[in-house]
A and B are shown apart, each in its own frame.
Chain A
Amino acid sequence: MKLPAPVSFAVGLVPALAAGWLLFPRLLYRTEAQPLPFNHKAHTEGGMGCADCHAVAENGRFAGLPATEACAGCHAEKGDNAGINALVASYVEPGREVPWLVHARQPDNVYFPHAPHVTGDKLACARCHGPHGESTATKAYVVNRLSGYSRDIWGPSIARVGRKEWQGMKMSDCIQCHRAGGRESACLDCHK
């Protein structure tokens, strides 16, 4: 029996589509574990805001991730929470910084100032970072094997469709927002 032409074509097409849409993303990205579990919601429910740990100083410098010293202010001693115990044992007591893997990290040739966005334009943190404060566990850090960037820079969907406005931090996303706000400027404003 001879195969009909559409079937022969589909024999190649379907596996290729499956490989492209399902297998390729798995090969492209690898997952790395964060050094500690972290529950943002437990902190924000207690009344803390983003700026309590991730502050923008008066001089415009964004503090980024809090130092272990800041965590030690509340978590200096072990208790009945395994995550807190790991924090205290591995980082607070030896005086080491937690090597968090930062989802929003940009390349070294880019300077992203938080101050004009947060202090100047009063953008909410969630506008770019999403509802991070509501998460109850650390999200797995998924990294692109080729570019070395976090998957959060591209966004969760490989096709970049159906994205929320905070999903994706590529240069085109910055430009889109700047263009919408009439803030298009020179290359060297961000690239250094």
Chain B
Amino acid sequence: MKLELSRRDLFLAGGGAVAGIALSPVPWKLLDDLSIWTQQPPTPTPRPAGPLAFRFTSCALCPASCGLKARCFGAQPVGFAAVPGHPASDGGLCPLGLTAHHLAKHPLRANHPERVSGGKRERIDRAAATAALSAALAACGRDPKRTFAVVDGRPGRSLSRTYRALAAATGGLYVTPPAAGAALSLEALAKRFDGGALALGVDFSKARRVVSFGTPVLTDAGTPGLLARLRAESRRRPAAERIEVIQVEATRGRSAALADRYIPIAPGTEAAFALGLAHVLLDEKLADAAFLEARTTGLADFAALSARFAPALVEQKTGVGAGVVTALARDLAANRPALVLGGDPTAGPLSGETEAAIAALNLLLGAPFGALPVRSEAPRETDGDAKLAAATSLDALPDGSVGFLLLDATVAEGMVPWARLERALAADALVVSFSPFRAGLGEKATLLIPGPAPLEESIELEGPADAPFATLAFAPALLSPPKDLALPEEILREAAEAAGLSLPAPAAGARSAALLAARRGRLYDPAAASFVAVGDVASPDALGELFARGACWVDDATPEPKGRFALLKDGEAPRLLETALGAPTALPASLASLPRVAVSAAPPSLLLTKLTRETALFSAPAAAIPTAARA
């Protein structure tokens, strides 16, 4: 009997084999193991050894300067936690800060100077890097058409002083990016005050409603980790005591995605929306009458202006339903303290007139001196006899004028758009970055001289300009920088000397001395979870010891000044009316291409990017809301 095997039998046997494999552990076990294999970190962190210890410092990734409690094995930090009671963050910490210790091992980390030529990176030694800097400085001194410009993302440090000295010595420019966060809104309010110079901050802990017209309060601006924590805590309280964040924006950005409510609005119609809210507040007598009576002028004129913005008209202009406008105004009035923030200068600023309307809305809600407290600046050393350039803005850089552009490691692309910097460059300009990463602006440099990564250097950290109190920390380093790493301060001084430029000596300890001399404020010692008055600190050494333990200075409360805010300034009404009645504008094309993290110059940790991709930690990049969706 002969067995006849046909093609049909082979197919059947093949099908049986496929079915057998499918019914075996092979597919799903392989899938599981291969997924683990593909996730093995490209730069594994060595398993730390040594006893468990907790150390304190402050996060330098963004201006918020949040307190960090580091869990260390030996000298190696393996995890971070927020510091409850810390003056800068009060127990808040964002996902970037939680993973700050990963960055020194980031795959994009650069440890040696690199020259970029024809798209190729070539490793060079420190002497060659210094020679290139020196030659560029000398060339700028010889040719008045090739300016030296330095961009500093964190002014006020001792390195900033060297930058300013170098700019002064070469006749160059010292550029600082616009303050991020709520700075423009606070400035708009301060300009309306007739009682002298006024600086205001934002105290989220005193607010129950936060309306933002673009400031990314939950992701990038101010102290986002703090607001997120306050909001999460408030959710455990009765509904009437909860903090809610309402984002009113044309794009559903990251902060809008995390907000309690997102109100999509036609771009360029924010002033009409703010005046619509003002209309409801005044029409239904919901505004803070006592504050208006005691602290403002021009109520009648402003009421006449806002009377034109009935919710029905606002609906036509903004695309937001009249009911939504009315309900939001009533909600803000019923849940005071409420505050309103405008656009973020780094992520799409609003016009001056729109910020004026938002300032008036804050006055109607009685926000100043409550949720928007008055604050002072931290004590600062004087310039003395040193010749130092004054800070200037990006607008001071004429197109095609910069022969040597120096980018500090703290400059994030979100703060200073590369397109704007590129426009200012002369032909064959040298672009030097001190970023420790081949990412962000560090990637644009033609000469990368990497400095220390986050946590690898002790750094002077002044809190953001929109914080409720001035804070200052000298955050101690937790990691050792790689051997032979060129420190920006050293390499700049070497290059300046080689170029024949004279720089003043570093003012080591001058800031601490200024702090002690001012005898203002208190120092929070995170290890002891207690405050020490500056007046009780015996000596500069004792102060240095406190800072080395991760202490943070916080200013005393600033007394409320006398004076009144103008709801409308002279001649402002027609301009405001014109802006609010104008047609919607086009959405700036740059908005959709903004980097994911606007204020940190460091690339996010790989773990964080993985979590970001796989969870709802952040939403997708900003996307325009179609007009039809607003109806």
Give chain A's interface residues, CB within 8 Å of chain B. Answer: 1-3, 5, 8-17, 19-21, 24-25, 28, 57, 59-61, 107-109, 111, 144, 146-149, 158-159, 187-188, 191-192
Does A14 lie within 8 Å of B25, measured CB to CB? no
Contact of B12 among A12, A57, A109, A159 (CB under 8 A): A12
Q: In the bound complex, do residue B19 and residue A1 qualify as a contact, i.e. CB atoms below 8 Å apart?
A: no
Are A158's CB and B98's CB within 8 A? no
A109 to B24, CA, bound (A): 31
Q: Across the interface, do A146 and B16 meet the contact criterion of CB distance under 8 Å?
A: no
Q: A12-B15, A188-B95 are in contact. Are A144 and B33 (CB under 8 A)?
A: yes
Segment among B41-49, B460-468, B531-539 that sits at the interface with chain A: B41-49
Binding site for A on B (CB under 8 A): 1-6, 8-9, 12-21, 23-26, 29-30, 32-34, 36-37, 40-41, 44-45, 47, 51-52, 78-79, 95, 98-99, 101-102, 607, 611, 615
Known pairs A2-B6, A11-B13, A187-B611; A158 contacts B20 (CB<8 A):
no
Collect the chain B residues with CB atoms within 8 Å of residue A25's CB: 25
Q: How far is the CB of B11 from the nearest CB of chain A, in Å?
A: 8
| Cross-interface CB contact of A10 among B16, B41, B98, cutoff 8 Å | B16
Is the CB–CB distance between B33 and A12 below 8 Å? no
Contact A1 B2, beta carbon cutoff 8 Å: yes
Residue of B25, B44, B101 with most chain A CB atoms under a 10 A cut-off: B25
Of A10, A16, A109, A159, the contact of B21 (CB 8 Å cutoff) = A16
CA gap between A109 and B30 in the complex, in Å: 21
Complex formed: what's the CA distance from A9 to B78 in Å? 55
A11 CB to nearest B CB, Å: 5
Q: Which residue of B lies closest to A144 (CB)?
A: B33
A20 touches B23 (CB 8 A): yes
B8 cross-chain contacts in A, Cβ below 8 A: 5, 8
Smallest CB separation, A109 vs chain B (Å): 6
Name the A residues within 8 Å of B24 (CB-CB).
16-17, 19-21, 24
The answer for the CA separation of A5 and B15 in the assembled complex, in Å, is 11
In the assembled complex, the CB of A151 is this many whole angstroms from the nearest CB of chain B, namely: 11
Contact B36–A20 (Cβ < 8 Å):
no
Q: Is the pair A8, B40 in contact by a Cβ cutoff of 8 Å?
A: no
The reply to whether B16 and A192 contact each other, CB–CB distance below 8 Å, is: no
> Distance in Å from the Cβ of B626 to the closest Cβ of chain A?
33
CA distance A19 to B45 in the complex (A): 37
Checking B5, B16, B44, B47 against A9 with a beta-carbon cut-off of 8 angstroms, the contacting residue is: B16
**8 extra interface residue pairs, beta carbon distance < 8 Å, beyond A17-B24, A20-B26:** A1-B1, A1-B3, A12-B13, A12-B20, A16-B17, A19-B26, A20-B24, A187-B611
Nearest-neighbour CB distance to chain A for B468, whole angstroms, equals 27
Q: How far is the CA of A148 from the CA of B33 in the complex (A)?
A: 9
**Nearest Cβ in chain B — how far from A174, in angstroms?**
15
* B98, A8: Cβ atoms closer than 8 Å: no
Of chain A, the residue at the smallest CB distance from B11 is: A8
Known: A9-B12, A12-B20. A21 touches B34 (CB 8 A): no
28 intermolecular pairs with C-beta atoms under 8 Å apart: A1-B1, A1-B4, A2-B6, A8-B8, A9-B16, A10-B16, A11-B13, A11-B16, A12-B16, A16-B21, A17-B20, A20-B23, A20-B25, A24-B26, A25-B25, A59-B52, A61-B51, A107-B40, A108-B47, A109-B45, A111-B79, A144-B33, A146-B37, A147-B32, A148-B40, A187-B611, A192-B99, A192-B607
Residues of B within 8 A of A3 (CB): 3, 5, 9
Query: Smallest CB–CB gap between B236 and chain A, Å?
Result: 15
Most A Cβ at <10 Å: residue of B4, B33, B41: B33
| Shortest distance between the CB of A153 and any CB in chain B (Å) | 10
- Considering only CB atoms, which chain A residue lies closest to B10 in the complex? A8
Please state if B19 and A108 are interface contacts (CB–CB under 8 Å).
no
**CA of A148 to CA of B4, assembled, Å:** 47
Cα–Cα distance between A20 and B2 once the two chains are bound (Å): 32
Q: In whole angstroms, what is the CA distance A5 to B5 when docked?
A: 11
**Complex: chain A residue closest to B3, CB-CB:** A1
Give the docked Cα–Cα distance between A108 and B40 (Å). Answer: 9
Closest 7 CB pairs of A and B: A20-B24, A16-B20, A12-B16, A13-B16, A12-B13, A12-B17, A8-B12
Q: How far is B52's CA from A13's CA once the two chains are assembled, in angstroms?
A: 55
Instruction: Report how far A125 CA is from B606 CA in the complex, Å.
Output: 33
Q: Is the CB of B36 within 8 A of A158?
A: no
- Is the CB–CB distance between A12 and B29 below 8 Å? no
A residues near B1, Cβ cutoff 8 Å: 1
A148–B38 CA distance with the chains assembled, in angstroms? 12
Pair A108/B36 contact, Cβ less than 8 Å = no
Cβ-defined contact, A15 with B17, below 8 A: yes
Please give me the residue from chain A that is nearest to B9 by CB atom: A8
Are B29 and A28 in contact, CB atoms less than 8 angstroms apart? yes
Chain B residues, Cβ within 8 Å of A13: 16-17, 19-20
Q: Is the CB of A147 within 8 A of B20?
A: no
Q: How far is the CB of A68 from chain B (nearest CB, A)?
A: 15
**Chain B residues within an 8 Å CB radius of A108:** 41, 44-45, 47
How many Å from the CB of B90 to the closest CB on chain A? 19
CB distance from B232 to the nearest CB of A (A): 11
Q: Is A111 within 8 A of B78, CB to CB?
A: yes
- Docked pose: A158 CA to B29 CA in angstroms: 8
Nearest-CB residue, chain A, relative to B614: A187
> In the complex, what's the smallest C-beta–C-beta distance from B5 to chain A, in angstroms?
7
* Contact across chains for B15 and A109 when beta carbons are under 8 A apart: no
Which residue on chain A has the smallest CB distance to residue B17? A12
Given contacts A16-B17, A16-B19, A20-B21, contact A188 B99 (CB under 8 A): yes
Partner pick for A158 among B25, B40, B44, B45, CB 8 A cutoff: B25
Residue of A nearest to B13 (CB): A12
Q: Which of B20, B30, B40 contacts A15 (CB 8 A)?
A: B20
Give A13 to B24 CA distance when docked, in angstroms: 10
Q: How far is the CA of A17 from the CA of B16 in the complex (A)?
A: 9
Interchain nearest-CB distance for B618 vs A (Å): 13
Contacts of B19 in A (CB 8 A): 9, 12-13, 16
Complex alpha-carbon distance, A13 and B19, angstroms: 6
Closest residue on chain A to residue B50 by CB atoms: A61
**Which residues of chain A have C-beta atoms less than 8 A from B23's C-beta?**
17, 20
**Nearest chain A CB to B94 CB, angstrom units:** 11
Min CB distance, A104 to chain B, in Å?
14
The CA-CA distance from A20 to B24 in the complex, in Å, is 5
CA separation between A15 and B78, bound complex, in Å? 48
Shortest CB–CB separation between residue A87 and chain B, in angstroms? 22
Q: Is the CB of B21 within 8 A of A191?
A: no
Q: Which of B14, B99, B611 contacts A12 (CB 8 A)?
A: B14
Complex: A15 Cα to B19 Cα, angstroms: 11
Kindly list chain B residues whose C-beta atoms are within 8 Å of the C-beta of A149. 36
Distance (whole angstroms) from the CB of A180 to the closest CB of chain B: 22
CB-CB < 8 A to B44: which residues of A? Answer: 108
- Whether the Cβ atoms of A146 and B13 lie closer than 8 Å is no
The answer to whether A9 and B15 have CB atoms under 8 Å apart is yes
B609 to chain A, nearest CB (A): 13
**Do B78 and A192 have beta carbons less than 8 Å apart?**
yes
Interface centre among B17, B44, B45, B101 (most CB of A within 10 A): B17
CB distance from A9 to the nearest CB of B (A): 4
Contacts of B36 in A (CB 8 A): 146-147, 149
> Given contacts A9-B16, A13-B19, A188-B98, are A159 and B79 in contact (CB under 8 A)?
no
Could you tell me the distance between the alpha carbons of A11 and B52 in the complex, rounded to whole angstroms?
60
Cα A191 to Cα B13 with chains together (Å): 46
